[in-house]
């Protein structure tokens, strides 16, 4: 018989700095006014297109985001900087990814009631690698005094669920009994705050999960099924790479940052994910009304609501069924679905829930769980 494997505990970290929509719009609009003034002659001659204002009403209606927590509010809002200030990372201190992951990991280990000595591996999944090597996961492993192995992996906004999936596979194969999964998503250094369609989307945060054969916590859920799919798309892309240094065709940093065709993503990913989840439920003989919680990727509140309504056949449902931490935290890249899980972990024993990420790749991973 297949041994049971649990999400035994989770923990989250997020920065204290918080930016409201009015604040981010005020900063962006000041940048636009300044740009248009500096380029007044060219704009009047029709040589340069004027930039247009952003608005709080658009952001709330289009995305559902009301605030976002960020590592450096002051510099993000400063129109002469428009990015957080971070220290250059070197061996003199822990990387920012390790620092925030350790904060979240300590909470996850506490919830799961496991000690570092009981953990056999650390898997770090993130959308943006802090560096090429050594793996930040190994740095975290060392700092927490964990034996065994550790590595980093990148799958865009599905990095968290794909990492949980790897942890499950390693435990199921007998390689490990308990694995710490950490997902630092420090996205704001990679946001082009001078782009109207992007400036409002991301926040910073980190989630950690303990995946284990051990079920010693009131917060735990048994993993019932996992399903993954990837389908290539350039609609969410970043060309940032070590190859940039040697590239013949010079590009500006701004061209290498995160960009997306948000509307195409919306239109293509919603039906893909709804069909994917529906077929997973069918394969597991689970009725849609048996799923009491959808902890979905937090890229857009309308997307979450549309996907759930396609699955359950009605748009008449409570946000309690599909929580929306995006309102407070913005898009937390791959950490979003497990942020929702951590903050809305309130199923009764025997009830089922579903965690699903979707994003760059495209990549989708859906995990059905049952409250123990």
What does the binding site for ligand COA look like in residue numbers (CB under 6 A)? 54-55, 58-59, 62-63, 157, 196-197, 200, 236, 260, 262-263, 265-266, 299-300, 303, 331, 333, 359
Residue of 157, 270, 356, 365 marked catalytic: 157
* Smaller CB separation from ligand COA, 213 or 237: 237
Shortest gap between Cβ of 336 and ligand COA (angstroms)?
A: 8
Burial profile 336-363: b = 16 or more Cβ within 10 angstroms, e = fewer: bbbbbbbebbebeeeebbbbbbbbbbbb
DSSP SS3 for 263: helix
Q: Which is nearer to ligand COA, 169 or 233 (CB)?
A: 233
Measured from the CB atom, is 144 or 277 closer to ligand COA? Answer: 277
Smaller CB separation from ligand COA, 54 or 166: 54
Measured CA distances, 288 to 221, 246, 368 (Å): 18, 52, 12
In the complex, least distance from residue 332 CB atom to ligand COA, rounded to whole angstroms? 9
Residue 130 CA: distances (Å) to CA of 65, 71, 170:
26, 15, 25
**Where does the chain show beta strands of DSSP type E?**
6-13, 18-20, 67-69, 121-126, 149-154, 178-185, 205-212, 221-230, 236-237, 259-260, 291-296, 352-359, 363-371
The dihedral through the CA atoms of 56, 61, 62, 64 has a sign that is positive
- Please list, residue by residue across 124-154, b when 16 or more beta carbons sit within 10 angstroms of its beta carbon and e when fewer do: bbbbbebeeeebbbbbbbebbebebbbbbee
Give the residue nearest to ligand COA (CB): 262
Least Å distance, CB 194 to ligand COA, is 12
User: Is residue 270 annotated as a catalytic residue, yes or no?
Assistant: no
Centroid of chain to Cα 210: 17
The DSSP secondary-structure symbol of 88 reads P
Whose Cβ is closer to ligand COA: residue 25's or residue 122's?
A: 25
Report, in Å, the least distance between residue 64 CB and ligand COA: 9
**Shortest distance, position 109 Cβ to ligand COA, whole Å:** 28
Please state the closest distance from residue 126 (CB atom) to ligand COA, in A.
13
Strand 221-230 relative to strand 6-13: parallel, antiparallel, unpaired? antiparallel
Nearer to ligand COA, 116 or 262 (CB): 262
Residues carrying an active site annotation: 157
């Amino acid at each position: 018989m297949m041994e049971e494997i649990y999400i035994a505990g989770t923990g989250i970290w997020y920065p204290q700095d918080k930016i409201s929509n009015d604040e981010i719009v005020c900063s962006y609009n000041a940048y636009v006014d300044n740009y248009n003034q500096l380029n007044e002659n060219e704009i009047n001659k029709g040589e340069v297109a004027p930039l247009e204002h952003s608005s709080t009403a658009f952001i709330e209606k289009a995305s559902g985001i009301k605030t976002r927590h960020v590592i450096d509010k002051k510099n993000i809002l400063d129109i002469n900087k428009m990015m957080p200030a971070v220290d250059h990372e070197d061996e003199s201190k822990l990387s920012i990814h390790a620092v925030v992951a350790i904060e979240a990991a300590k909470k996850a280990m506490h919830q799961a009631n496991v000690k570092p000595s009981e953990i056999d591996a650390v898997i770090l999944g993130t959308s943006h690698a802090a560096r090429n090597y050594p793996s930040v996961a190994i740095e975290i492993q060392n700092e927490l005094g964990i034996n065994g192995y550790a590595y980093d992996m990148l799958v865009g906004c599905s990095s968290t669920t794909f990492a949980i999936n790897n942890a499950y596979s390693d435990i199921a194969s007998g390689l490990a009994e308990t694995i710490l999964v950490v997902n630092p998503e420090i996205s704001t250094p990679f946001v082009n705050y001078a782009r109207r369609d992007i400036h409002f989307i991301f926040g910073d945060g980190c989630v950690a999960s303990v995946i284990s054969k051990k079920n010693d916590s009131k917060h735990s859920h048994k993993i019932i099924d996992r399903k993954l799919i990837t389908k290539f798309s350039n609609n969410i892309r970043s060309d940032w790479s070590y190859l940039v240094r040697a590239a013949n065709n010079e590009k500006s940093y701004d061209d290498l940052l995160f960009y997306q065709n948000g509307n195409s993503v919306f239109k293509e990913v919603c039906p893909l994910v709804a069909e994917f989840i529906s077929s997973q439920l069918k394969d597991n003989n689970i009725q849609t009304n048996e799923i009491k919680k959808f902890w979905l990727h937090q890229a857009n509140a309308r997307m979450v609501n549309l996907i759930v309504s396609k699955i359950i056949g009605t748009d008449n449902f409570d946000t309690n069924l599909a929580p929306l931490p995006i309102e407070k935290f913005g898009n937390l890249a791959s950490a979003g679905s497990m942020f929702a899980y951590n903050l809305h972990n309130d199923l009764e024993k025997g009830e089922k829930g579903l965690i699903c990420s979707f994003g760059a790749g495209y990549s989708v991973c859906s995990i059905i769980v049952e409250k123990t």
